[in-house]
Amino acid sequence: MKHEQTYFTKAEAADYLRCSQRTIDYARERNKLRAYRLDKKKLLFARVDLDAFVRQHSASADLDSIVDEVMSELRDAR
């Protein structure tokens, strides 16, 4: 899959990062991923921000601790 565009919709961003759209929402809600609002409904994500997000989280990512943190926050939100 080739991605040359500069901005992505949430669905395209999730596809580009090979993650769920919820992961994109989660990162955006916690100010870990910048989004640009095109109108009241549509958010766009810059490829450079997506690439930076991956670099930041892959360098020392401990998947088990990330999953534990996400699950804990989801339980607390209920």
Q: What is the CATH number of the domain that holds 11?
A: 1.10.1660
**Domain assignment of residue 1, yes or no:** no
CB distance 16 to 3 below 8 Å:
yes
pLDDT band at residue 71 using 50, 70 and 90 as cut-offs: confident
pLDDT of residue 78: 72
58 part of a folded domain: yes
Q: Which domain holds residue 18?
A: 7-77
- List, in order, residues 6 or more apart from 33 with CB less than 8 Å away: 24, 27, 45, 49, 50, 53
pLDDT tens per residue across span 13-67: 999 999 999 999 999 999 999 999 988 888 999 999 999 998 887 655 566 777 7
Q: pLDDT tens digits for 19-32?
A: 999 999 999 999 99
Residue 70 covered by a domain: yes
Considering its fold, how many domains does the chain have in total? 1
